[in-house]
Chain A
Amino acid sequence: MRKLELKWGIILALPAILGFLIWNLGPMIASFVIGFTDWSVAGSPEFIGLANYKEIFFDDFIAKKSIIVTLYFAGGSVIVSMVTAFLAALLLNRKIRALPLFRTIFFLPSIVPAIANAVVWLWLFNPDFGLLNYILEIFGLSRLQWIYDEHQVIPSLIMMSAWGMGYTMMIFLAGLQGIPQQLYEAVAIDGGNWWHKFRHVTIPMMTPTIFFNLVMGLISSFQAFAQPYLMTNGGPNYASMLYCYYIYQNAFQYGRMGYASALSTILFIMILVLTLLIFKTSSYWVYYEGGRGR
């Protein structure tokens, strides 16, 4: 039996293992190596050592701006989306009528294809005819330039990503529904009010879910590509030059495969460091039932 399980285990897992080697590990090593060459679409690649990295850190101001803009966008959209999603989940976790309806409404935006999303929001953001400026005017506020202004473009894109927070909300909702009712009852018996319940039951019990959403949210927002590609072209003044779009431009518009590979190695390191940081700090703030930290 053991032998049979070993044989079939390896046979059935083989596609996934090969897939990891061919589509993940292999390309990652290749990307790292190509980053030290001047590989372009035409012509033969030559080894140029650290020249790409030197250019990124010392000469290419767009790359540096892109890193800052991406951190700004990723941090902002993760925080805003998570807070929105958490509040929505808290609201939906009460005994309310028409729960499935509200849940569907909050969830739907997250399944809108990026391209359709871009069309709608381009129009909402339109400074002259857009709905958002019209709403601002109703409230007597002054018009904004939204994605057409250097300083407003990232906050605008963050707002747009908060609209698509549906997945995160669903995971929070599932987490909230998994909290045992006895814990709340215990707080009530001790005379605690809603704040005590929230602070000493909800928050600690939700930390694993918050942790999960934080990591997944960060990884996905670092990969944002559609917004600059479809809406802003990275502008104005490179203020929305999200990193993946910059990699795409270098590789597939300028044909600089070597340079783009060096850029993507840096992206990978950034994500790796951030995730490790979150994992390392998690033992201080993530609560696991039974008291076992991981």
Chain B
Amino acid sequence: MNPIKKNSKVISKIIIYLILLVASVSFLLPFIWLVRSSFMDIGQIFILPPEWIPRPFRWQNYPEALTAVPFGRYALNTITILIFVEAGVIITSTMSAFAFSRLRWKGRDKIFSVLLTSLMVPYVVTLIPTFLLWKALGGINTFLPLTVPAWFGGGMFNVFLLRQFFLTIPYELDEAAYLDGATPLQVLWKVIIPLSKPAILTVAIFTFMSVWNDLLGPIVYLNDPDKYTLAVGLATFVGMYTGQWNYLMAASTVMILPPIILFFIGQKFFVQGITLTGLKG
């Protein structure tokens, strides 16, 4: 390679790293800002130009913020909802995805494409009649409206994702099992599920994120503070403690931590799952 070309290669490399560095700093800045404020005295937060090192280092913001409102109760509620939703989503979306990819039956693909249209229906559009239905059934202020729907296929997004994955498994495996006298249920349990653990884990992670982040559902269905989820609890906290930014930042940091930890643990599956949804099916 001639030296001029080599030089320009080096320069373009440097430029790329420079852009990446600046972009990374701006993407991280809100996080740094959040964490730094969560350890500060309320007075120091307002100092301009901004200071980056908390002094004094007020770690007490955390216990104080978390005991100002019953965050433990909120966490327990969130986890309760989470367990029921996860179970419903994982069981019923695996079942449906199996039926829509590994079993041949009349009308299968037509029904599947009709069901997929539900992805285009905004949550609010169905929210009002669903709310009125739950009201008639006496389900307001219970966790039922937030958990029961998960047991009906677990959302077409998850069915789609699992189906995409199931389609990559060789059909010879099913056929061999059927020749040995297996029933479809046994094929699902003994052939497909063991091979699909990464995809099922991906669905579990996505489900965690959506329950953890859900705001509209709990706001609409839960009005007793004892039933609040973390997201709603924090939202009311924001309303109550508008001046106490260090508390708000501490509580927000706690809220952010579980998804981030989960992301780092399941990063591999997460990336796979996102890739899978982007593939055309």
List residues 150-178 of chain A with CB under 8 A from any CB of chain B. 163, 167, 170-171, 174-175
User: Closest residue to A94 on the B side, CB-wise?
Assistant: B16
- Is there an interface contact between A16 and B108, defined as CB atoms closer than 8 Å? no
Contacts of A111 in B (CB 8 A): 209, 259-260, 263
User: Closest residue to A270 on the B side, CB-wise?
Assistant: B122
Proximity bits, B24-49, A CB within 8 Å = 1, else 0: 10011111011001000000011011
Interface flag for A277 (CB, 8 Å):
no
Contacts of A109 in B (CB 8 A): 27, 30-31
Interface flag for B195 (CB, 8 Å):
no
Q: Shortest Cβ distance from A125 into chain B, in angstroms?
A: 11
List residues 242-261 of chain B with CB under 8 A from any CB of chain A. 245, 248-249, 251-253, 255-256, 259-260
List residues 123-148 of chain B with CB under 8 A from any CB of chain A. 123-133
List residues 233-281 of chain B with CB under 8 A from any CB of chain A. 234-235, 238, 245, 248-249, 251-253, 255-256, 259-260, 263, 267, 271, 274-275, 277-280
Contacts of B24 in A (CB 8 A): 102, 105-106
- Is there an interface contact between B104 and A104, defined as CB atoms closer than 8 Å? no
A13→B48 CA distance, assembly (Å):
60
Contacts of B222 in A (CB 8 A): none
Q: Shortest Cβ distance from B65 into chain A, in angstroms?
A: 11
Residue in A12, A171, A261 whose beta carbon sits within 8 Å of that of B274 in the complex: A171
- Is there an interface contact between A34 and B34, defined as CB atoms closer than 8 Å? no
Q: Shortest Cβ distance from A135 into chain B, in angstroms?
A: 9
Given contacts A120-B34, A131-B50, contact A28 B152 (CB under 8 A): no
Given contacts A96-B20, A131-B33, contact A163 B27 (CB under 8 A): yes
Proximity bits, B95-132, A CB within 8 Å = 1, else 0: 11011100111101001001100111111111111111
Interface flag for B213 (CB, 8 Å):
yes
Q: Shortest Cβ distance from B241 into chain A, in angstroms?
A: 11
Residue in A119, A223, A275 whose beta carbon sits within 8 Å of that of B249 in the complex: A119
Given contacts A16-B152, A167-B274, A268-B122, contact A251 B127 (CB under 8 A): yes
Q: Shortest Cβ distance from A83 into chain B, in angstroms?
A: 13
Q: Shortest Cβ distance from A46 into chain B, in angstroms?
A: 15
A28→B19 CA distance, assembly (Å):
47
- Is there an interface contact between B120 and A6, defined as CB atoms closer than 8 Å? no
- Is there an interface contact between B125 and A16, defined as CB atoms closer than 8 Å? no
List residues 231-270 of chain A with CB under 8 A from any CB of chain B. 244, 247-248, 251-252, 257, 260-261, 264-265, 267-268
Q: How large is the interface on A (under 10, 10 to 19, 20 to 34, 35 or more residues)?
A: 35 or more
Interface flag for A204 (CB, 8 Å):
no
Residue in A15, A91, A230, A264 whose beta carbon sits within 8 Å of that of B95 in the complex: A15
Task: Classify the secondary structure of B's interface with A.
Answer: helix
Q: Shortest Cβ distance from B68 into chain A, in angstroms?
A: 15
Which of A28, A116, A244: most chain B Cβ within 10 A?
A: A116
- Is there an interface contact between B128 and A124, defined as CB atoms closer than 8 Å? no
A260→B127 CA distance, assembly (Å):
10
- Is there an interface contact between A219 and B120, defined as CB atoms closer than 8 Å? yes
Q: Shortest Cβ distance from B281 into chain A, in angstroms?
A: 11
List residues 87-135 of chain A with CB under 8 A from any CB of chain B. 88, 91, 94, 96, 102, 104-109, 111-116, 118-121, 123-124, 129, 131, 134
Interface flag for B85 (CB, 8 Å):
no
- Is there an interface contact between A113 and B33, defined as CB atoms closer than 8 Å? no
- Is there an interface contact between B30 and A129, defined as CB atoms closer than 8 Å? no
Proximity bits, A7-35, B CB within 8 Å = 1, else 0: 01111110111111011101110110010
User: Closest residue to A264 on the B side, CB-wise?
Assistant: B125
User: Closest residue to A2 on the B side, CB-wise?
Assistant: B104
Contacts of B178 in A (CB 8 A): 1
Q: Shortest Cβ distance from B126 into chain A, in angstroms?
A: 4
Interface flag for A271 (CB, 8 Å):
yes
- Is there an interface contact between A20 and B118, defined as CB atoms closer than 8 Å? yes
Proximity bits, A25-58, B CB within 8 Å = 1, else 0: 0111011001000010000000000000000000
Given contacts A15-B151, A113-B259, A244-B124, contact A129 B278 (CB under 8 A): no
- Is there an interface contact between B275 and A170, defined as CB atoms closer than 8 Å? yes
- Is there an interface contact between A131 and B29, defined as CB atoms closer than 8 Å? yes
Contacts of B159 in A (CB 8 A): 16
Interface flag for A73 (CB, 8 Å):
no
- Is there an interface contact between A24 and B118, defined as CB atoms closer than 8 Å? yes
Interface flag for B62 (CB, 8 Å):
no
Contacts of A272 in B (CB 8 A): 120
Contacts of A75 in B (CB 8 A): none
Contacts of B280 in A (CB 8 A): 208, 212
Q: 7 other contacts beyond A9-B108, A16-B152, A120-B30, with CB at 8 A cut-off?
A: A5-B105, A24-B126, A102-B24, A116-B253, A119-B248, A121-B30, A171-B274
- List 14 A–B pairs whose Cβ atoms lie within 8 Å, in order of A's numbering: A8-B185, A11-B99, A20-B114, A23-B149, A27-B128, A28-B126, A31-B128, A102-B20, A106-B27, A109-B30, A119-B252, A222-B122, A226-B215, A267-B122
A residues sitting closer than 8 Å to B (CB atoms) are: 1-2, 4-6, 8-13, 15-20, 22-24, 26-28, 30-31, 34, 39, 88, 91, 94, 96, 102, 104-109, 111-116, 118-121, 123-124, 129, 131, 134, 163, 167, 170-171, 174-175, 208-209, 212-213, 219, 222-223, 225-226, 229-230, 244, 247-248, 251-252, 257, 260-261, 264-265, 267-268, 271-272, 275
